[in-house]
């Protein structure tokens, strides 16, 4: 039995982490050796990646807990409520349209260039669109009816879910399902489940006061255009 008197808590943590990751460190050395052998054999990038992947799959150690998790198909987490992430801030991260879809759009537009110059100018914004629509875009395109006029972004993301085209029923319930402006799709009120829990970036009021208050305005002040939150001369 190896028993030692602990004098430094940090050294103890380092020792435990080194002991736990011992097998991973050995695997890293093995992958580095495989990479060197591939370079010496003048293999191309595809062959090199295949050789490294094969080495990783054949030498990786799997714990008993991970083996049970994979065999039984357990979920990493399970919640009683849905979780909706709302990107807020001056320049939040966005998901880009898949490259293959952009190539299809570009080839389709190139084959239909027989329009007038005025039509081309009107569609310039659509041609340059590379970002996917998110919950903020759909909130700005909410219907112009009484129940949505004074609704904030936080309530919109919590109480409504986005419907894909394949999820649209043949007979739409107009009391719970609504069409968004600007061809942004449809939304449906969460009636069978509880409202979703919203998550959003948390900014520090001390270190980033402008980002902090901007995120609060975006979440809880009804608006349709960014200029309503922060005028150009502000």
Show me where the domains of the chain are located.
9-72, 83-95+133-228, 102-130
Return phi, psi of residue 69, to 5°.
Answer: -60, -40
User: What integer is the mean pLDDT of 118-144?
Assistant: 73
Tell me the pLDDT tens digit for each residue of 99-119: 887 787 777 777 766 555 545
Lowest mean pLDDT among 35-39, 149-153, 197-201: 35-39
Taking Cα atoms as reference points, which of 205, 208, 229 lies closest to residue 136?
229
**Tens digit of pLDDT for each residue in 12-33?**
888 887 777 666 667 778 888 8
């Amino acid at each position: 039995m190896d028993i030692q008197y602990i004098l430094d808590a940090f050294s103890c943590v380092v020792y435990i982490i080194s002991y736990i990751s011992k097998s991973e460190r050995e695997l890293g050395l093995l992958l580095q050796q495989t990479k060197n052998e591939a370079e010496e054999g003048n293999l191309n990038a595809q062959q090199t990646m295949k050789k490294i992947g094969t080495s990783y799959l054949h030498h990786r150690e799997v714990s008993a807990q991970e083996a049970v998790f994979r065999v039984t198909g357990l979920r990493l987490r399970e919640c009683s409520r849905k979780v909706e992430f709302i990107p807020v801030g001056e320049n939040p991260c966005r998901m880009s349209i898949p490259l293959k879809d952009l190539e299809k759009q570009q080839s389709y537009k190139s084959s239909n260039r027989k329009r007038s110059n005025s039509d081309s100018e009107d569609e310039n914004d659509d041609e340059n669109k590379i970002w996917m629509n998110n919950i903020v875009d759909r909130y700005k395109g909410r219907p112009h009816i009484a129940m949505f006029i004074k609704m904030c972004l936080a309530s919109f993301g919590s109480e409504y879910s986005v419907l894909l085209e394949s999820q649209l029923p043949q007979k739409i319930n107009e009391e719970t399902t609504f069409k968004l402006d600007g061809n942004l799709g449809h939304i449906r009120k969460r009636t069978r489940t509880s409202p979703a829990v919203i998550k959003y970036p948390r900014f520090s009021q001390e270190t980033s006061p402008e980002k902090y208050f901007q995120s609060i305005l975006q979440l809880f002040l009804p608006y349709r255009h960014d200029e309503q939150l922060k005028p150009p001369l502000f």
